[in-house]
Amino acid sequence: MAYLQSVRGFTPKIGKDCFLAVNATIVGDVVMGEGCSVWFNAVLRGDVNSIKIGNHVNIQDGSVLHTLYQKSTIEIGNYVSIGHNVTIHGAHVRDYALIGMGSTLLDDAEVGEGAIVAAGALVLKGTKIGPYEIWGGVPAKFIKKADPQQTEEINKKIAHNYAMYASWYENN
C-alpha cells in the first residue's frame, strides 16, 4: 500500500478509482481527482504548500512534486501525463498536457492546455508555455506549434493507457 501521511493538519485526499503504487509517497496538502495513477517511487510532497491534481492524471515512476513554502503551489489539470523521473516544483500544468521523461518544471512555470514538454527539458521559473506548444532543451525553448487535434489524441491515448496499466494491479 502507498505511504500516505498527514502533515501540519493536512491529510491527502485521494479521488475514487485511483491507483497508488505500493511505494508511492503522498503527504500533506494533496488533493487528487478521480481515476489517477501514481506509480512506483513517485513522491507528492504537499508538506509546505498545496498540490491539486485533476482527473485521470498519471504521475509516472520516480517523479517528484513539491512546492515553495508560502510561495508556489502545484496545479495539474485533467488527463495530464507526467513522465518517468519528472520534477515539478511549484508549476501549473493545464489539461491534456504531456510532460516528458526526466524534465524539470520550476516555480511559477505554466504549461498550457495540450502542450508538450520534451524529455529532459528544463522549464525555468516563470516560463509560460502556450496551449499546444512544444518546448524542449536546457533551458527549454519554444520548438513549434502542435496540431491541437493530434496533440489531444496523443495525450488522451497516453492517459487512457495508464488507466489500463493501473487496472492490471487491481487484484494484487
pLDDT at residue 126, rounded to an integer: 97
DSSP secondary structure letter of residue 91? -
Q: How far apart are CA 170 and CA 172, in angstroms?
A: 6
Q: Which residues pair with 3 in a beta bridge?
A: 25
Q: Which residues pair with 43 in a beta bridge?
A: 25, 64
pLDDT band at 132 (very low <50, low <70, confident <90, very high): very high
Q: Which of 20-24, 41-45, 140-144, 146-150 has the lowest mean pLDDT?
A: 146-150
Average confidence (pLDDT) over 7-28 = 97
CA distances from residue 124 to 117, 128, 139, 156 in whole angstroms, order as listed: 12, 9, 7, 26
Give the number of other CB atoms < 10 A from CB of residue 8: 10
Map residue 32 onto helix, strand or coil.
strand
Map residue 89 onto helix, strand or coil.
strand
Domains within the chain, CATH numbers bracketed: 3-167 (2.160.10.10)
Q: Which residue has the cell 519528472?
A: 86
Percent of the chain predicted with pLDDT > 90: 88
pLDDT at residue 172, rounded to an integer: 55
pLDDT tens digits, residue range 43-59?
999 999 999 999 999 99
Contact 144, 127 (CB under 8 A): no
pLDDT at residue 160, rounded to an integer: 86
pLDDT tens digits, residue range 51-96?
999 999 999 999 999 999 989 999 999 999 999 999 999 999 999 9
DSSP secondary structure letter of residue 7? B
pLDDT at residue 151, rounded to an integer: 86
pLDDT at residue 171, rounded to an integer: 63
pLDDT at residue 153, rounded to an integer: 86
